[in-house]
Chains A and B, each alone.
Chain A
Amino acid sequence: MKVPIKLRRGEPGIAVLGIVLILVIVGGALLPVLLYFMNTASQAGQIVERKTKEYYSANSGIEAAQWRIKTNGKLPAWLDAASWDESVYGKTYENYTLSSADPINDNSVYYLIGAKWVLENLEAPNLTQKRDPASNILVAGSYQGSGSTSGRGKYEIIIMYDGTAGSLGIKRIGCWLPAGFEYVPGSSSLEKVQYPVKPYYCVPQVTPFRGGHTITWDYATPVSYDLFDPPGSQRKITFEYTPNQITQGEFNWVKTSNTTGLNYLAWNTDLKVFEVKSTATSPTGQTTNVTAYTTKKEFQKFGASMEGDYFASGNTLMRNSNPYQDNSRDRLYEETWATVSGIPTNANVEKILLYWSGWKCKPWDVRGYSQAQLDALPESKNVHKVKLTIEASGAPTFSAVVTASQKQGASDPEDAGGAAHGWSYSCIADVTDLVMNHFEGTSFMGNGKYTVGHWDTGSRSSSRRYELYEWNDSHSHESISTYTRYPLGSPMDGRQRSSGNEDDGNEDEWAYSAWSVVIIYTSPTTKGHQIYIFDDFHYVTRNVTVPITISGFLTPELAAGEEAARYTHFVGEGDEYDYWSHSYTDSVSVNGYALSDADNPANDVCNSQSRIPPVSGTLVDGIDIDTFSIANGIVQPNDTEAQVNFRTGTEVLNIVYVILSFRSNISTGGILIYDLK
């Protein structure tokens, strides 16, 4: 067969070939355009995708920073300090790299966290105070519920001044409300029309600031703090705003006439503002930056309050050996013990306070003694010392005779107009340094077995010795273990007395002797508690109400249903309820709410029944070292005082200490400002 060497005109099928050639030419012309378009579209899509990835990557840095800020123990000490001062604001920001081994969206992310002064761009500090918190003034504020009409919320600013810096003139009171909240003109308590017009009358200025508004009451002539209402330990300013929602991140401040002193400016030191800068860098080097300002509510210390949490336990040194006879504490022990546990392993021990207390019958008649004479009695009777032993796992045993640094004597106020009844005492020793020096280099953080007993023991002279029993937890076959010349309390009758008159008999229901250890600690996991200890010794007679006002603290914001506070008291000489006569014995209330639990009925809360250790331990007869949980509502946010009332009926009480520990709900308030570049 011959092969054609060229196409010839008119050859059949040539038309089809032509069409194919045309199609190839047209397709060839279209293809580059199509590919170019596809390439452009693909690049545009990639750019959008890359920028979106960078944006989310940078945002993940903000999320990580928020987590770090919110979680205790994730910030360096300088940022985690209880309150910030000038040195903190001047520090270089802390740098963190996010997931360097596993980049976010293929982008490397790092973020910086630093401190911002809440009043920045609002007020200029003076050279003396700088940006250090005021030491004598406290400013706080909170949502107070619905306002006077629907849709309005009510806000209250509290100002407290302890008066230690002399007369205080107020030049400005300010409040900042975040974006979305509007001040209701004319609603503030400082601008209500009153006759005669109050010296603090002022119409506030409302100015845009940080997306929200500042409300400032300015006084051209400073108005004395004392002239503001209400009289008492704090001043309050209220106003209304819309909408009726709880604000987040708001703050308040006060500017005073003390322009050159340490108290020129005061603000909510519980509100910290963090600046977070997050940068995402793509593999090709493009960056996206996000700057955010986030807030965190910490804890505001004031007055005598301490920061941390506490564990209180102890034991009696005297108990009733006759189970068929109530309130007749007749057996004095050489020593007793209590186990302290539950303090976190990462805790730092801030204080170890040892309390002991008892009733003594010698001298019997102290009527007419001055307070100084009463206070001298513990030392003169050698009950101002105890032997303390601490056994902790993995550490050598601590043992020492401890001498009280604070000694108080007291007598029944009823005695003055009636019969003599001996006297009571309370001793306090701060053994923090003594104990912690011993345990230095060990893992001791407060947990262990604490044993407290008589410091003077041994055979002693038979003419002046008092029998001491050996304690065992079941109290079976307890026997005399040793003697002392200086019993820490006087048991009910003379059975323990071989000779002498330190135990003189029949005032049975007065008799008690006990001790308690209080450990105050801080730790990353328990940070945010505020403790107030009232340890002024009180001898409470019958049928009276003794009010104890605990002040100088600031209750933080609390979540719904959260425990507001914990309460512990150490009370001596509480007697069991008289079931035969049904006589009222005693009660303890906090802000009007009577305390009680399964072991301590409300009408006889001081019944010499204690759980050792508290709440979950063994029930011990002889002393009241009771711990109660106080629900949210009994103590309200921003309360600065708590009223504890001891009401007695048919018996006498000796209040050694009262401890209130307030929970602080550390929380972040979200992002204040978010700026994407």
Chain B
Amino acid sequence: MLSGRGARGLTLVELLIAMGIGAAVLAGALAVMNQLLLLVPKAENSMLAIRQAQNAGYWIDRDATSAQSITPAPALFTISTATPLVISYVGWDATKTTITYTVDTGRNLQRQIAVADERTGNPISSSQMRIADSISSITAQYNQPDPTNPRKILTVTITAQVGNCSETRVYKISPRSF
């Protein structure tokens, strides 16, 4: 519609319809925006939670595969600073590697690796790194699930939570050493 001399105004009905359409379009646009703003963080949180759980699982898996000793066992326990998951193995060169997993108060999964002389116990090297954060819980159990099979299995259940998104992964690891 072009304005100009002689132009007619809108009727009330036309105005109401236009307002109704405008309100509907605005509501839809706001809803889309709202979804967009909410979904991005949710997807991000979900992705972060998956990655944290995966990362924790990857490291525990590879360490436990080499394990000659895993403590505590065999009851189910929650990994924490007070009750760490301790994995150790000795190489052919008589170096003992002890890996300690803890979850600190900041919900970070810490992996401390200490290498020492097996016989004397003298430390050779030590380091610590954060494997994952946003860990809400990690439980572990190292037992012999099948009474007819002496093979022991380490079952680790990792739950990572970022915002309202949580991801749980279960790893069953059979150490390769005797």
The residues of A with any CB-CB pair to B shorter than 8 Å are 2, 4, 8, 11-13, 15-16, 19-20, 23, 26-27, 30, 33-34, 37, 41, 44-45, 48, 51-52, 55, 59, 62, 116, 120-121, 178-180, 207-212, 245, 248-249, 275, 291-293, 669-676
B55 within 8 A of A: yes
B62 within 8 A of A: yes
- Cα–Cα, bound, A437→B18 (Å): 112
Give the distance to chain A from B156, nearest Cβ to Cβ, in Å.
Answer: 15
- Which residues from chain B contact A30 at a C-beta distance below 8 Å? 36-37, 40
Give the distance to chain B from A291, nearest Cβ to Cβ, in Å.
Answer: 8
B5 within 8 A of A: no
B124 within 8 A of A: no
B33 within 8 A of A: yes
Beyond A13-B22, A48-B58, A245-B150: 6 further Cβ-contacts under 8 Å?
A2-B2, A27-B36, A116-B92, A209-B119, A211-B88, A291-B92
Contact assessment for B1 and A120 in the assembled complex, using a CB-CB cutoff below 8 Å: no
B148 within 8 A of A: no
Contact assessment for B29 and A52 in the assembled complex, using a CB-CB cutoff below 8 Å: no
Residues in B107-140 with C-beta less than 8 Å from chain A: 118-119
Interface size class of B (residues with CB under 8 A): 35 or more
- Cα–Cα, bound, A640→B35 (Å): 82
- Which residues from chain A contact B65 at a C-beta distance below 8 Å? 59, 674, 676
- Cα–Cα, bound, A116→B55 (Å): 35
B8 within 8 A of A: no
- Cα–Cα, bound, A248→B150 (Å): 12
A62 to B, closest residue via Cβ? B176
Query: Could you jot down 30 A-B contacts, CB within 8 Å?
Result: A4-B2, A8-B3, A15-B22, A23-B33, A26-B33, A26-B36, A27-B36, A30-B37, A30-B40, A41-B47, A45-B54, A55-B62, A121-B94, A179-B68, A179-B69, A180-B69, A208-B96, A208-B118, A210-B94, A211-B177, A292-B176, A669-B178, A671-B178, A672-B178, A674-B66, A674-B175, A675-B66, A675-B89, A675-B91, A676-B65
B58 to A, closest residue via Cβ? A48
Residue with the highest number of chain A CB atoms closer than 10 Å, among B33, B44, B94, B176: B176
B26 within 8 A of A: yes
- Cα–Cα, bound, A211→B118 (Å): 8
A207 to B, closest residue via Cβ? B119
Contact assessment for B44 and A37 in the assembled complex, using a CB-CB cutoff below 8 Å: yes
Given contacts A4-B2, A12-B18, A670-B178, contact A34 B40 (CB under 8 A): yes
B32 within 8 A of A: yes
Given contacts A2-B2, A26-B33, contact A671 B176 (CB under 8 A): yes
- Which residues from chain B contact A44 at a C-beta distance below 8 Å? 51
Contact assessment for B36 and A48 in the assembled complex, using a CB-CB cutoff below 8 Å: no
- Cα–Cα, bound, A675→B44 (Å): 35
B37 to A, closest residue via Cβ? A30
- Cα–Cα, bound, A669→B150 (Å): 13
B25 within 8 A of A: yes
Give the distance to chain A from B9, nearest Cβ to Cβ, in Å.
Answer: 11
- Which residues from chain B contact A207 at a C-beta distance below 8 Å? 119
Contact of A19 among B29, B69, B89, B94 (CB under 8 A): B29
Contact of B26 among A12, A19, A55, A59 (CB under 8 A): A19
Residue with the highest number of chain A CB atoms closer than 10 Å, among B3, B36, B178: B178
Residues in B78-105 with C-beta less than 8 Å from chain A: 88-94, 96
Complex interface bits, B59-70 against A, C-beta within 8 A gives 1, otherwise 0: 000100110110
Given contacts A209-B118, A674-B65, contact A248 B178 (CB under 8 A): yes
Complex interface bits, B14-46 against A, C-beta within 8 A gives 1, otherwise 0: 000010001001100100110011001000100
- Majority-rule SS of A interface residues: mixed
- Cα–Cα, bound, A293→B36 (Å): 55
B47 to A, closest residue via Cβ? A41
A12 to B, closest residue via Cβ? B18
- Cα–Cα, bound, A33→B29 (Å): 21
- Cα–Cα, bound, A121→B40 (Å): 58
Give the distance to chain B from A418, nearest Cβ to Cβ, in Å.
Answer: 64
- Which residues from chain A contact B68 at a C-beta distance below 8 Å? 179-180, 211-212, 673
Give the distance to chain A from B88, nearest Cβ to Cβ, in Å.
Answer: 8
Contact assessment for B25 and A19 in the assembled complex, using a CB-CB cutoff below 8 Å: yes
- Which residues from chain A contact B69 at a C-beta distance below 8 Å? 179-180, 211
- Cα–Cα, bound, A121→B96 (Å): 14
- Which residues from chain A contact B10 at a C-beta distance below 8 Å? 12
Contact assessment for B51 and A673 in the assembled complex, using a CB-CB cutoff below 8 Å: no
Contact assessment for A16 and B91 in the assembled complex, using a CB-CB cutoff below 8 Å: no
- Which residues from chain B contact A55 at a C-beta distance below 8 Å? 62
- Which residues from chain B contact A59 at a C-beta distance below 8 Å? 65
Given contacts A2-B2, A45-B54, A48-B54, contact A674 B119 (CB under 8 A): no
Contact assessment for A179 and B178 in the assembled complex, using a CB-CB cutoff below 8 Å: yes
- Cα–Cα, bound, A41→B49 (Å): 11
- Cα–Cα, bound, A675→B18 (Å): 74
- Which residues from chain A contact B88 at a C-beta distance below 8 Å? 211
Q: Which 5 A-B pairs have the closest CB atoms?
A: A179-B68, A211-B68, A211-B90, A674-B176, A671-B176
Contact assessment for B90 and A48 in the assembled complex, using a CB-CB cutoff below 8 Å: no
Give the distance to chain A from B87, nearest Cβ to Cβ, in Å.
Answer: 12
- Cα–Cα, bound, A672→B90 (Å): 10
Given contacts A16-B25, A178-B178, A674-B65, contact A41 B92 (CB under 8 A): no
B21 to A, closest residue via Cβ? A16
- Which residues from chain A contact B93 at a C-beta distance below 8 Å? 121
Residue with the highest number of chain A CB atoms closer than 10 Å, among B3, B10, B36: B36
- Which residues from chain A contact B2 at a C-beta distance below 8 Å? 2, 4
- Cα–Cα, bound, A59→B40 (Å): 39
- Cα–Cα, bound, A27→B39 (Å): 13
Given contacts A30-B40, A48-B54, A48-B58, contact A23 B32 (CB under 8 A): yes
Give the distance to chain A from B15, nearest Cβ to Cβ, in Å.
Answer: 9
Contact of A210 among B32, B54, B55, B90 (CB under 8 A): B90
- Which residues from chain B contact A27 at a C-beta distance below 8 Å? 36
Give the distance to chain B from A231, nearest Cβ to Cβ, in Å.
Answer: 36
Contact assessment for B33 and A20 in the assembled complex, using a CB-CB cutoff below 8 Å: no
Contact of A120 among B29, B92, B96 (CB under 8 A): B92
